[in-house]
Structure 1
Amino acid sequence: MTSTSPALSRRHVLQLGGLGAATLALGISAPETAGAAPPPSGELFRLGVASGTPRPDSMVLWTRLAPEPLAPDGHGGMPTERFGVHWEVATDEAFGHVVRRGHALAQPELAHAVHPKVTGLRPATDYFYRFRAGGSTSAVGRFRTLPSARATPDRFTVGVVSCQAWYHGHFTAHRHLAAEQDLDLVVFAGDYVYEYGITAANLWRQGVAVDPEHAVEVQTLEQYRLRYALTKSDAHLQALHARVPAVAIWDDHEVQNDYVGGSSAYGLDDATFAHRVAVAYRAFYEHLPVDVEALPTGPDTDITTGFDVGRLARFSLLDTRQHRDPVPATEEDRLDPARTMLGARQERWVTRRLDESPATWNVVASGVVLTAVTDDRTDQWDGYPAARDRLLETMARSRNVVVLSGDIHHAVATELRADFADPASENVGVELICTSVASDGDGAPLDDYAPDWLQHDYVKLYDGRRGYLTVSLTPEQMTSTFVHVDWVEADDAAPREVLARFVTPAGRSRLVQA
């Protein structure tokens, strides 16, 4: 692959991502008197609302003003001016008891997205929120704050989804997940958007059409904004975001397939690719309810974060793409003990979090599969076995470790062994791999990859249909439920079916099929 982009200096790339502090601050909180133009008329909140970065006393809210979300220039139909956005948080859906309200500026530098951080909230409490701009009012979202640090809730349930290739099928999984009764959080485990051009060859989602600007591979900031807008225009995804708070990690398609750190897998020179990484990371921040640390400075950012659900669970969200060593060129290279998937700093961080965790359950979200499958799967942790061994050693010292991952477009449940080569080795955790929401279309229960997985006795489930995963944690056990739908290409009407359900007792890293 070649690029016609001009050569870019490192300084230019850094300037691209480094917004002024005042601009960033005004997108989070601004005084009522902050200068802003009168908002355009019409419906401004066509991309919905979201909440995320949950804490016992705070939550980040998100929306983006976009009266024409799919405008070809990527600006959502907004003029290049600043517009005021008001937000409210209440304890009732009718907003009769508003407990927090504020104001932020939607600015063209951030795609007219705002990220107000609401503080001073009560732990383990249900809230409702909405935005207003001009004569337009957003849909109502809701969230529940995390329990206090010393509390041990009876139950905490998360949904897990990944791989949202909009053009491959309808988001039926989101429709069903948003309707789950007991749901506290959704984890987006990577590939929230895809960068490929959408053409007649890959547009499998029936009943839709896209304009020519979607046919090219995404490379510029405006193109990434347009691709996020296309993905977030889906009504079922909007309903899921409005239903519960979200946390997100990325994998490769948020930038480019199979990229590693600052290197393109398709031959782009490093300077050009650094520009692409910078704008891709910027668009990620602009379209998700993440905290300010996720805003990049050029091609560098930090999405590594974590939170505690009282003393019940500790969550650690990993970045398995930005800091990894290059794909190994030889077997000797693959086995090099110095190779890293996470980078030294992040590896120390997750080691410390697991070693010091007071929680019953320790949940780690990984952008790629940790389980040993085959040595030639070098884009997964199989390409970084020494780094995997170090993480498994840390897990062995910890308690009740659960890895949540996606990437492979299959539903898989595995038991994690201290030494995958030794059948007698003890289990140190379990890995729950959610299938895709739409990527690869309808799918099938088995395929050509099945023998690679099913040769291992620690693999307890393998299925290639679309769907999602729910994980329900209690002080006594974890229940993981894999849900699938039989089709996504034709329409969004497929019913949900439980593919498999496993129980993992606290203190035993086993998957017992229920």
Structure 2
Amino acid sequence: MSSSRSPFSNRRHFLRNVTAGAGALLTGTALGPALAQSGAPALITSERMRPQLPSGVMSGDITRNKAVIWSRTDRPARMVVEYANNQAFRDARTVNGPLALSSSDFTARVDLGGLPVGQTVFYRVRFQDIQNATIYSEPLSGSLPIPGGIERDITFAFSGDEAGQGWGINEAWGGYRIYETMRRFKPDFFIHSGDQIYADGVIEKEVKLDDGTLWQNLVTPAKSKVAETLDDYRGNFAYNLLDLNKRRFAAEVPFLVQWDDHEVRNNWYPGQTIGAAEKRYQQRDLSTLAAHAKRAMFEYNPYRIEPSDPERVYRMFNYGPLLEVFMLDERSYRGANSPNRQTVLNKDAAFLGASQLRWIKQALLRSRSTWKVIASDMPISIVVPDLNPDVPTGTYEAWANGDNGKPLGRELEVAELLKFIKRHNIKNVVWVTADVHYASATYYSPEKASFTDFKPFWEFVGGPLHAGTFGPGDIDRTFGPDVRYVSIPSDMKQNRPPSELLQFFGVGKIDARSKIMSVSLHNVDGKDLFKVDLHPEI
């Protein structure tokens, strides 16, 4: 890190004690009882009278001088947030937040404004018992860097796909180890590119590995069946926050979150009905399931709700003159999965939808930041067939249709956006994504494309965070992809467990002086797999 990062040097020292109390929140797991027994019996009895914070604290949706602080308690209580620009909390401000009630599964968030630009904000969250106003929870602490101010280096991480294919929290292996690895890179924020949960994936207590050993999962009732009710979906989000690594990371690194399919059900689209071949579901209307999933996702993340459009997932975040981030929603407005060969861009061919496509065009056009990062929850050229048993063969789930020719179907939206970027000479656009459960780096060049009316650009794929490893996928050549790196062998056996270390994330670093963005890909232990320096177009 360069010396321009010095205002943030106290974050790690401050957060050493964040997880000391957080570990005790895992009461009932292998970690919880041991920690709980370290106190005197009288203290334990007294502590149980306090509201508890079983899911830690999180921050997110940071832009300019604003940030959302999130937490969850275990009973009706009022959220109280104290914050300052120093770890001693001198001249701290206190915000009495909303009531956390059963109607939100006892989650709550506070949207802080007027934060000190270019500085670190330190915060503490407590909950005040509404039955006895003299009783407060123990505080949990976190910190977050506020963008802007004196130009400094920016570091961010990106990945997706968490707790999929039955690979859950294995405490003996170290839990979600990748979060601790990412934390060591000291990112200013983390882009979670979707599949935060696998609502359609059951987690069993044990999974037999190829070598005969057993993978031991932490199990909960919510993860013992597919999610159908609101409480089922809430339980899926709560499950991932049982992991100590994730809670430690979330207390230190702000989240920018989008969704993909497994937040609801594999490869879902609006208006879909689950077919008879899928036997696990009683509730077969995907719109009903999606409504439950979106509500739980909003409750369990530090989302800033847009008052004029409270259902909206796509949004943008300004990190000052070096960077803006544009988060897409490729679920809410898509047409049905199909052979993806439509010749005109209509509702059947929609992926972003007309309104969101207009929004991203205008947002990119208005941007004055050097770098524009588009966070897409699905890659552009990797072919993703829809293999659900209740859809016809030859149906596609992502942008690409696998024919390598001129843009058709959802590719028409990509072509329109890329052409707009070229026509208006919008510079330094980079795409990051996940979904396919392996990492890759691809350079798109019009010289190699069937559709040529665009400026060259890079796309980087991260993931899985903690799920089965698959791929690599076939590549559609419509937009001239030159695949520079793939993180797995072409003959790999599918659904590899986390214990094989084939879990991946990306890191972007923007140098404040040169404005060069360096993007690297890493495995679960942080090993450098690929790196490229992107020089900005001036």
TM-score normalised according to structure 1 size: 0.77
Equivalent-residue separation in structure 1 for 2:345 and 2:308 (angstroms): 32
Query: What residue number does 2:26 align with?
Result: none
Decide whether aligned partners of structure 1 residues 374 and 336 sit closer, same or farther in structure 2, where only a CA change above 3 A counts.
farther
Indicate conservation of the 8 Å contact 1:419/1:425, yes or no. no
1:496 aligns with 2:526: yes
Equivalent-residue separation in structure 2 for 1:189 and 1:394 (angstroms): 24
Equivalent-residue separation in structure 2 for 1:399 and 1:265 (angstroms): 43
Q: 1:44 aligns with which of 49, 52, 62?
A: 52
Equivalent-residue separation in structure 1 for 2:154 and 2:275 (angstroms): 42
Query: SS of the residue aligned with 1:54?
Result: strand
**Offset of residue 124 of structure 1:** 1.1
**Offset of residue 371 of structure 1:** 2.8
1:416 aligns with 2:440: no
Q: 1:405 aligns with which of 424, 429, 433?
A: 433
- The aligned amino acid for 1:192 is Q
Deviations 1:409-454 (CA, angstroms, capped at 9, x unpaired): 11111112347634988653111110211110xx4xxx76366489
1:302 aligns with 2:317: no
Equivalent-residue separation in structure 2 for 1:498 and 1:294 (angstroms): 42
- The aligned amino acid for 1:219 is E
Indicate conservation of the 8 Å contact 1:303/1:319, yes or no. yes
Equivalent-residue separation in structure 2 for 1:283 and 1:145 (angstroms): 27
Deviations 1:308-337 (CA, angstroms, capped at 9, x unpaired): 2212112111001110111124x643x443
Equivalent-residue separation in structure 2 for 1:398 and 1:162 (angstroms): 27
Equivalent-residue separation in structure 2 for 1:283 and 1:439 (angstroms): 21
Query: SS of the residue aligned with 1:52?
Result: strand
Query: What residue number does 1:8 align with?
Result: none
Larger RCO of the pair (alpha carbons < 8 Å, separation 6+) = 1
- The aligned amino acid for 2:167 is H
Decide whether aligned partners of structure 1 residues 216 and 374 sit closer, same or farther in structure 2, where only a CA change above 3 A counts.
closer
Query: What residue number does 1:344 align with?
Result: 354
Deviations 1:54-92 (CA, angstroms, capped at 9, x unpaired): 1222211000113xxxxxxxxxxx4xxx32222101222
Query: What residue number does 1:328 align with?
Result: 338
1:395 aligns with 2:413: no
Query: What residue number does 1:29 align with?
Result: none
- The aligned amino acid for 1:164 is E
Q: Note the residue ranges of structure 1 that are not aligned, 5 or more in a row.
A: 1-38, 67-77, 486-494, 509-514
Query: What residue number does 1:231 align with?
Result: 240
Query: What residue number does 1:365 align with?
Result: 375
**Offset of residue 213 of structure 1:** 4.9
Equivalent-residue separation in structure 1 for 2:180 and 2:263 (angstroms): 23
Decide whether aligned partners of structure 1 residues 264 and 296 sit closer, same or farther in structure 2, where only a CA change above 3 A counts.
farther
Query: What residue number does 2:86 align with?
Result: 92
* 1:369-388 correspondence to structure 2 within 5 Å: 369-371=379-381, 373=383, 378-383=396-401, 384-388=410-414
Query: What residue number does 1:193 align with?
Result: 197
* 1:16-27 correspondence to structure 2 within 5 Å: none
**Offset of residue 138 of structure 1:** 3.5
Indicate conservation of the 8 Å contact 2:505/2:521, yes or no. yes
Decide whether aligned partners of structure 1 residues 309 and 213 sit closer, same or farther in structure 2, where only a CA change above 3 A counts.
closer
Query: SS of the residue aligned with 2:306?
Result: helix
Indicate conservation of the 8 Å contact 1:393/1:418, yes or no. no
- The aligned amino acid for 1:253 is H
Deviations 1:250-291 (CA, angstroms, capped at 9, x unpaired): 001111110012324646899833221111111001100011
Query: What residue number does 1:488 align with?
Result: none
Deviations 1:214-243 (CA, angstroms, capped at 9, x unpaired): 321011011111111111111111111111
Decide whether aligned partners of structure 1 residues 457 and 351 sit closer, same or farther in structure 2, where only a CA change above 3 A counts.
closer
Indicate conservation of the 8 Å contact 2:162/2:197, yes or no. yes
Query: What residue number does 1:142 align with?
Result: 143
Indicate conservation of the 8 Å contact 2:270/2:336, yes or no. yes
1:54 aligns with 2:43: no
1:180 aligns with 2:185: yes
Indicate conservation of the 8 Å contact 2:269/2:286, yes or no. no
Decide whether aligned partners of structure 1 residues 316 and 336 sit closer, same or farther in structure 2, where only a CA change above 3 A counts.
same
Query: What residue number does 2:287 align with?
Result: 274
Decide whether aligned partners of structure 1 residues 99 and 457 sit closer, same or farther in structure 2, where only a CA change above 3 A counts.
same
Which range moves more in the overlay, 245-254 or 475-484? 475-484
Q: 2:482 aligns with which of 432, 450, 458?
A: 458
Equivalent-residue separation in structure 2 for 1:255 and 1:87 (angstroms): 32
Equivalent-residue separation in structure 2 for 1:222 and 1:270 (angstroms): 14
**Offset of residue 186 of structure 1:** 0.7
Indicate conservation of the 8 Å contact 2:205/2:216, yes or no. no
Query: What residue number does 1:476 align with?
Result: 515
TM-score normalised according to structure 2 size: 0.74
**Offset of residue 155 of structure 1:** 1.7
Query: SS of the residue aligned with 1:349?
Result: helix
Equivalent-residue separation in structure 2 for 1:438 and 1:222 (angstroms): 23
Q: 1:315 aligns with which of 318, 325, 336?
A: 325
Query: What residue number does 2:167 align with?
Result: 168
* 1:431-442 correspondence to structure 2 within 5 Å: 431-440=459-468
Equivalent-residue separation in structure 2 for 1:114 and 1:252 (angstroms): 25
Query: What residue number does 1:17 align with?
Result: none
- The aligned amino acid for 2:56 is G
Indicate conservation of the 8 Å contact 1:255/1:276, yes or no. yes
* 1:25-36 correspondence to structure 2 within 5 Å: none
Indicate conservation of the 8 Å contact 1:256/1:264, yes or no. no
RMSD: 3.1
Equivalent-residue separation in structure 2 for 1:388 and 1:62 (angstroms): 35
* 1:441-452 correspondence to structure 2 within 5 Å: 443=469, 449=472, 452=475
Equivalent-residue separation in structure 2 for 1:454 and 1:422 (angstroms): 7
Query: SS of the residue aligned with 1:137?
Result: coil
Indicate conservation of the 8 Å contact 1:262/1:277, yes or no. no
Query: What residue number does 1:263 align with?
Result: 272
1:129 aligns with 2:126: no
Decide whether aligned partners of structure 1 residues 265 and 483 sit closer, same or farther in structure 2, where only a CA change above 3 A counts.
farther
Indicate conservation of the 8 Å contact 2:438/2:472, yes or no. no
